[in-house]
Structure 1
């Protein structure tokens, strides 16, 4: 019963993808959803600082039609840097754990895909430029 409810919630949530991507910040829920739907998780490591890289990622990668099409095949998780003062205590714990495990060099912004068991699929993309964005989109297409 829980799986059915979870699937229904995910289907309703995916309707919002037409306009904006639906990034969750709740690691525990994302993990449950990924396991229930057997979908990989795309982690977006971000910080409060606005950099050219984050602008490029938002304007080129996240707004690309190919990414929007692929986004219904993955679960999106936004991992905020620990500098974000708006994080709840629980979010800080999860962010700290995820950054320590998957983004040890604390590079922001960055992207990494993992499977529902937490195993990395590919490498952390933190060198944000037009060529790497295109390459990462192609990588996602081959893995999904």
Structure 2
């Protein structure tokens, strides 16, 4: 019975560790405030729903990866979907015009405070682009 109980506890802890998901912030003002108050960087994910294959690859290879989960404590992650009409739409348009002024979708921008250290907008999500993305994130820490 003792070993059975230990096995159940071990399985539960293991499952909780594997099921850890990245926390998305859904309010821009709150995301910005958290960024300023915690010295975390803001990672902005721009999507418009047109290139579904690229968005699927980004979700699978970046946002569901263990690599990003290990770095997630350094970032506030905010998603801008141009197809969603929300109360943050005016903020989203400002962010698009500031960080994604060529309106390339999908794209990811890491906004670093101070902003002069911020990397370029990430728009290439092939295997080499994803490796560069993670290398850049690790170098920002």
TM normalised by structure 2 equals 0.80
Check if 1:97 corresponds to 2:98: no
Task: Give the RMSD, CA atoms, in angstroms.
Answer: 2.1
C-alpha contact 2:44 2:78 (8 A) present in aligned 1: yes
How far off its partner does 1:134 sit? 0.9
| Count of residue correspondences | 125
Q: Which residue of 2 aligns with 1:107?
A: 104
What residue ranges of structure 1 are gaps of 5+ in the alignment? 1-14
Q: 1:120 to 1:96 in 2, by over 3 A?
A: farther
Shift of 1:18: 4.9
Query: CA contact under 8 A between 2:51 and 2:106: conserved in structure 1?
Result: no
Residues 32 and 18 (structure 1), Cα distance of their counterparts in 2 relative to 1, 3 Å cut: farther
Residue 30 of structure 2 is aligned to residue 29 of structure 1: yes
Q: TM-score normalised to the size of structure 1?
A: 0.78
Please identify runs of 4+ aligned residues in structure 1 that moved more than 6 A.
none
Question: For 1:18 and 1:112, how far apart are their aligned partners in 2?
Answer: 26
SS of the equivalent of 2:59 reads helix
1:128 alignment counterpart: 125
Give deviations 1:15-66, integer Å, cap 9, x for gaps: 9x95322212311101101111011111111123352211111111112211
Aligned equivalent of 2:138, options 122, 129, 141: 141
**Distance in structure 1 (CA, Å) of the matches to 2:133 and 2:21:** 20
For residue 9 of structure 1, what is the aligned residue in structure 2?
none
